[in-house]
Homo-oligomer: A and B are copies of this chain.
């Protein structure tokens, strides 16, 4: 008996998945409005997170929403946007049933919309296909939970678990396929996190490329405790196009020069072991 509803929810998940990476800082959400077994409208969270999928779907369906059923991969927001919360917009639309794949653990919503919908006599079913929302929006739930950014680590390691020869003479051990994948990962990320050592050894451009063409610029966050980064680094050559954020404990003339170039520098105290505290850094960039 749930097959039909799962089918529609899965279609909403499929829509969301296609747009993964474009809706930061918001999770990507898919939404369908259905009446008499006909799909009235489909929508996904808009680029950069607003408007939400529900708002777009309701607008598309128009007056036909009255008496319809909504399928949505995440609990509609309870907090206000320009047009009111998505929960309020659903109430206004006259939608009578809703299937929500998973509640939103963002504390501004956190089941408040579900309660409001139920209280206002919308038939509300929560939890079917929940795991699909979890998987796709891992970055969102995990970072909320841990209060730090969701981080993917990219390392090229050989079978003996080394990353380079001790004299750094070794060359690329990744291949074109893995590099292509790395650029896909970059494309759907918010920033690249690295160290001054990687910059001095590899002199990376840290752009997002597809078939060797630059398709996106991401902020680059660098740990550079003693400000060793070379002023001739590739990363500083195209500084007009991206944010370069440096964490350091050193304040000298190089610090001032990097700042006047437009680097954003965050000064932190060293720990006893003379390193910067990664936890503090993660908190700052959350």
Tell me the A residues contacting B by CB distance below 8 Å: 48, 58, 62-63, 65-66, 82-84, 88-94, 120-121, 219, 239-241, 243, 259-262, 264
Provide the bound-state CA to CA distance between A262 and B89, in Å. 7
Contact status A92-B262, CB under 8 Å: yes
- SS of A interface (majority): helix
Partner of A259, one of B63, B120, B219, B259: B120
**Known contacts A65-B240, A240-B63, A240-B93; A120/B260 CB under 8 A:** yes
A–B Cβ pairs within 8 angstroms, 14 of them? A48-B82, A62-B240, A65-B240, A66-B240, A83-B219, A83-B243, A84-B264, A88-B243, A88-B262, A89-B262, A91-B259, A91-B260, A92-B262, A93-B262
User: Which chain B residues border A91 with CB–CB below 8 Å?
Assistant: 259-262
Provide the bound-state CA to CA distance between A262 and B94, in Å. 8
**Known contacts A63-B240, A239-B92; A121/B84 CB under 8 A:** no
Provide the bound-state CA to CA distance between A90 and B93, in Å. 44
* Min C-beta distance of A200 to chain B, whole Å: 22
* Min C-beta distance of A196 to chain B, whole Å: 19
Partner of A84, one of B92, B219, B261: B219
Extra contacts, 13 of them, besides A91-B262, A93-B240 (Cβ < 8 A), are A62-B240, A66-B240, A83-B219, A84-B219, A88-B243, A88-B262, A88-B264, A91-B260, A92-B239, A92-B240, A92-B261, A93-B262, A120-B259
User: Which chain B residues border A82 with CB–CB below 8 Å?
Assistant: 48
Residue of B nearest to A24 (CB): B82
Provide the bound-state CA to CA distance between A88 and B245, in Å. 11
User: Which chain B residues border A62 with CB–CB below 8 Å?
Assistant: 240
* Min C-beta distance of A118 to chain B, whole Å: 11
* Min C-beta distance of A245 to chain B, whole Å: 8
**Known contacts A120-B259, A259-B120, A262-B89; A240/B84 CB under 8 A:** no
User: Which chain B residues border A93 with CB–CB below 8 Å?
Assistant: 240, 262
User: Which chain B residues border A66 with CB–CB below 8 Å?
Assistant: 240
User: Which chain B residues border A58 with CB–CB below 8 Å?
Assistant: 240
Closest 6 CB pairs of A and B: A92-B262, A91-B262, A120-B260, A84-B243, A92-B240, A93-B240
User: Which chain B residues border A264 with CB–CB below 8 Å?
Assistant: 84, 88
